[in-house]
Structure 1
Amino acid sequence: MVNEPSNSANGGARRPWITTVAILLVVLLAVGAYLKLRPRRIRISVVQPALQAVSSSITTNGKIEPIHSFEAHAPLAVTVKKVLIKEGDRVKAGQLLLVLDDSRARSDLALARTRLKTAQAGYSALLAGGSQQQLLVRQADRQKAITDRDAAQRQLSSLERLQQRGAASPDEVAAARDRFSRAQADLAQLDSQVRYSPQDLARSKAEIADAEANIAVAQETIRNSNIRAPFDGTVYYLPARLGAFVNAGELLLQEADLSQMQVRAFVDEPELGRLAVGETTKITWDALPGRTWQGTVTTVPSTVVNRGSRVVGEVLCKFDNSDRLLLPNLNVSVTIIANSKDNALTVPREAVREDAGHSFLYVLQGNRLHRREIKLGISNLTRVEILSGISQNDIIAVHSFSPAPFSDGVEVKIVENPS
């Protein structure tokens, strides 16, 4: 009984401490909730728009080709008689490069000329009425017909005089007149006879034409057996070997002017609309890193072709190769400058946002971001031109280093190197 008041007093003394701790916990929770839920400033990086040159380009692969080239092929199955140059030699226009065995062609030429003379003689004889023997026979027949006509005419005249004196009867005169008429008709028939038929004439002309064609072929073969350079250039491929037998049509050599070359670039279909004649091109070759050749687009595609898994248009770009380092058939990298502009107002590509087909930037005003719609121009891999919507003095938000995204009106803090 004596201990009960003491326990009651201790319990009453602990209650104020419990109440105080509870109040402190509530305050701490409230402060924590406030700190967590209140708007926080986003840490960002910013840039100012820059005036600089910007270009839009298309990068692809291509193959080197000569612009002015010449290929020599064997005109017929023949042996290579002389090889007067070696691969890589620079040659002059008209220089003799290869000589082929043309003995067969010369034999064909002689035979064709003989046939031509025979055909021409036959044609002349046909126009004259036949061969010499035929002409002699025809002349003899005509002379006999003339003699018969003249004799019939004299006999008719004599009988007409005798009839006037009563020494010849009318029947005798009529018979003489009939013989004279027949003699005249026989002579006229000989003179009017066709000496040759249209078929004979056509056949004779065809023989002449065939012989002349064979002569032309043989002469062309002989000319082609002496292979000369058609222009100043370089023999960059020479498969022909001295004494080797080559078949008709087989490639003997290739020559080109290596100072002026072109690249056939393979541009993917979606990029074709950006191409235009005159655009600048840059060519690089992996074998010579750091070296660049510059040229221009000369031909844009008129169709597309399948190239492996790609659908491409073939673009021809002319370039200067005066050092002759790029050879035909090399595979190179090609960059086509589709558009370019100096003093363009540009920002980094990552600063530009897209929403529902609209482009915009976040511009810093004071310590808050404000969304501003813009119009884009030329772009490349890192920069994009801004045609309207901002000025050079604006401050543009680029990256956020906080979990919260950019939004219109959000408070921000600029940082350079976030931890």
Structure 2
Amino acid sequence: MTLNKPFMLRGAIAVGAMGLVIALMQVTLFGRQSDAAKSPAKALPLVSVVQAEARDLPVKLSAHGHVVPLNQVDVRPQVGGTVRGIHFREGDDVKAGQLLFTIDASDVTAQLERAQASAAQIEAQVDDAERDLARIRQLAKLRYYSTSAVDTSASKLESLKAQYKAVQAEVASSRLQVERTHIAAPMAGLTGALTVHPGSLAQTTAAVPLVTVVQIDPIGVEFSLPESQLARLLDARATGAVRIELQTPDGGRQPGSLVFVNNTVNTDTGTITLKASFPNATRSLWPGAYVDLAIDAGVSHGAIVLPPQALLEGPQGRFVYVLDTDSKAQVRQVTLLRLQDQMAVVDGLNGGERVVAEGQAGLKPGAAVRIAARTSKDAR
């Protein structure tokens, strides 16, 4: 059978079109497969993980403190007057009871003499009244005087005795004022700068003292610690386990003892003020100087430690990412107790948790993660 040419041409065109469609479909499918190969699924975040470790850890604290005298006295006059003598040089060591200042005693000496004269006068009157009373009593027995006369004489004697007691008190007060014109050192120590000189007027109401005496050996160091360390420190103090050392100017260590814990916590800073005592025979420590302290407060049993980089800071405070059994990150709030031996001691974990140490950037709660293999360096 013979086919006409138009029919054959239409068939060829149809076959060609079908082939072109198939080719386009293959190209499109290949392109999609290629794009899929070029755009794989988004990889999970890669993190390194450590295990929260519970261990018995010595409680080692550090603090900055400043040197303060354990005892200090501002020497002030108790009577006003002109300074007649200064019996030491500023900066001298003085002993307790050593004479420091002499103040003009003219006025108070005159007061003492007047009081003594009054006392002598009234004492003589008392003697006369006693003799009169004795004579009137004898005469009253002979009925030369009535009992009322005896009573009057006895009352006069009692009144004079009361006056004599009062003037004796004036004598004692005046004598004390005279003694106070000689000002002695209230304790042994080192004197500071003088604020008066011979001829200066010493006033009891002056704002500044005549001189200040401070105790140098032993000497104190005042410092503060976070409120979170208070309970541990008090427990260690109760058992005698607190040890304190300071770094001396020559780089050495000098042991001391804790002598004072303040009775209130500073609500503004959340710290507690403490004071330690240190021997200072060489006078290497000077009031007002700053020093570094190392405090050993016993052993913290079951302390949870983590690498410091595992801790993050958020609106609610410090937190860490803990991995659950499906290796998904969960937020856990923690409290940083202290940094010690390049480790963070925290509260809020039980120990044994898997904690994300690195790779937290962009991590969200509930996100699945990939855990990086630990190297021998990490294991150490």
TM-score range, shorter chain: 0.5 to 0.7
Partner of 2:88: 85
1:211 and 2:172 matched: no
Query: Could you tell me which amino acid in structure 1 is paired with residue 277 of structure 2?
Result: K
- SS of the residue 2:210 aligns to: strand
8 A contact 2:47–2:369 mirrored in 1: no
Note closer, same or farther for the CA distance 1:67–1:242 as it changes in structure 2 (3 Å cut): same
**Which stretch of structure 1 is more off in the superposition, 14-23 or 47-56?**
47-56
Taking the aligned partners of 2:304 and 2:265, their CA distance within structure 1 comes to: 36
The Cα shift of 1:321 comes to: 3.8
1:398 and 2:357 matched: yes
Taking the aligned partners of 1:45 and 1:300, their CA distance within structure 2 comes to: 41
The Cα shift of 1:371 comes to: 8.4
- SS of the residue 2:146 aligns to: helix
1:247 and 2:203 matched: yes
1:27 and 2:33 matched: yes
Partner of 1:347: 306
1:233 and 2:189 matched: yes
Partner of 1:100: 103
Query: Could you tell me which amino acid in structure 1 is paired with residue 174 of structure 2?
Result: A
The Cα shift of 1:192 comes to: 7.1
8 A contact 1:281–1:296 mirrored in 2: yes
Partner of 2:214: 256
The Cα shift of 1:233 comes to: 1.3
The Cα shift of 1:50 comes to: 9.5
Query: Could you tell me which amino acid in structure 2 is paired with residue 208 of structure 1?
Result: Y
8 A contact 2:73–2:186 mirrored in 1: yes
8 A contact 2:320–2:355 mirrored in 1: no
- SS of the residue 1:187 aligns to: coil
Taking the aligned partners of 2:272 and 2:350, their CA distance within structure 1 comes to: 34
1:318 and 2:277 matched: yes
The Cα shift of 1:84 comes to: 2.1
Matches within 5 A, 1:262-411: 262-265=220-223, 276=234, 278=237, 279=242, 295-303=256-264, 315-324=274-283, 326-328=285-287, 330=288, 332=290, 337=295, 339-341=297-299, 346-351=305-310, 379-381=337-339, 382-384=343-345, 389-390=351-352, 397-400=356-359, 403-404=362-363, 410-411=369-370
Taking the aligned partners of 2:61 and 2:257, their CA distance within structure 1 comes to: 13
8 A contact 2:84–2:199 mirrored in 1: yes
Same amino acid, percent of matched pairs: 18
8 A contact 1:55–1:380 mirrored in 2: no
Taking the aligned partners of 2:148 and 2:50, their CA distance within structure 1 comes to: 115
Taking the aligned partners of 1:223 and 1:230, their CA distance within structure 2 comes to: 14
Partner of 1:42: 46
8 A contact 1:69–1:257 mirrored in 2: yes
Taking the aligned partners of 2:351 and 2:228, their CA distance within structure 1 comes to: 29
**Which stretch of structure 1 is more off in the superposition, 343-352 or 228-237?**
343-352
The Cα shift of 1:75 comes to: 2.1
Note closer, same or farther for the CA distance 1:263–1:209 as it changes in structure 2 (3 Å cut): farther
The Cα shift of 1:255 comes to: 1.2
- SS of the residue 1:300 aligns to: strand
Partner of 1:129: 132
1:118 and 2:121 matched: yes
Note closer, same or farther for the CA distance 1:360–1:68 as it changes in structure 2 (3 Å cut): closer
8 A contact 1:43–1:401 mirrored in 2: yes
Instruction: Pick one of 72, 75, 93 that aligns with 1:72.
Output: 75
Note closer, same or farther for the CA distance 1:369–1:56 as it changes in structure 2 (3 Å cut): farther
8 A contact 2:305–2:346 mirrored in 1: yes
The Cα shift of 1:78 comes to: 0.5
Taking the aligned partners of 2:212 and 2:295, their CA distance within structure 1 comes to: 32
Partner of 1:17: 23
The Cα shift of 1:20 comes to: 2.1
TM-score when normalising by structure 2: 0.68
- SS of the residue 1:196 aligns to: helix
Query: Could you tell me which amino acid in structure 1 is paired with residue 113 of structure 2?
Result: A
Deviations 1:93-120 (A, max 9, x none): 3332222222222222222221111121
Between Structure 1 and Structure 2, how many residues are aligned?
353
The Cα shift of 1:16 comes to: 4.1
**Which stretch of structure 1 is more off in the superposition, 115-124 or 274-283?**
274-283
Query: Could you tell me which amino acid in structure 2 is paired with residue 22 of structure 1?
Result: T
8 A contact 1:42–1:412 mirrored in 2: yes
Deviations 1:135-174 (A, max 9, x none): 7xx79x95xx9xxxxxxxxxxxxxxxxxxxxxxxxxxxxx
Taking the aligned partners of 1:290 and 1:364, their CA distance within structure 2 comes to: 48
- SS of the residue 2:82 aligns to: strand
Taking the aligned partners of 1:291 and 1:352, their CA distance within structure 2 comes to: 34
8 A contact 1:129–1:195 mirrored in 2: no
8 A contact 1:127–1:195 mirrored in 2: no
Partner of 1:193: 150
Taking the aligned partners of 2:364 and 2:143, their CA distance within structure 1 comes to: 123
- SS of the residue 2:41 aligns to: helix
Taking the aligned partners of 1:320 and 1:340, their CA distance within structure 2 comes to: 23
TM-score when normalising by structure 1: 0.63
Query: Could you tell me which amino acid in structure 2 is paired with residue 85 of structure 1?
Result: F
Q: Give the superposed CA RMSD.
A: 5.2
**Which stretch of structure 1 is more off in the superposition, 104-113 or 268-277?**
268-277
8 A contact 1:64–1:264 mirrored in 2: yes
1:221 and 2:177 matched: yes
The Cα shift of 1:212 comes to: 2.0
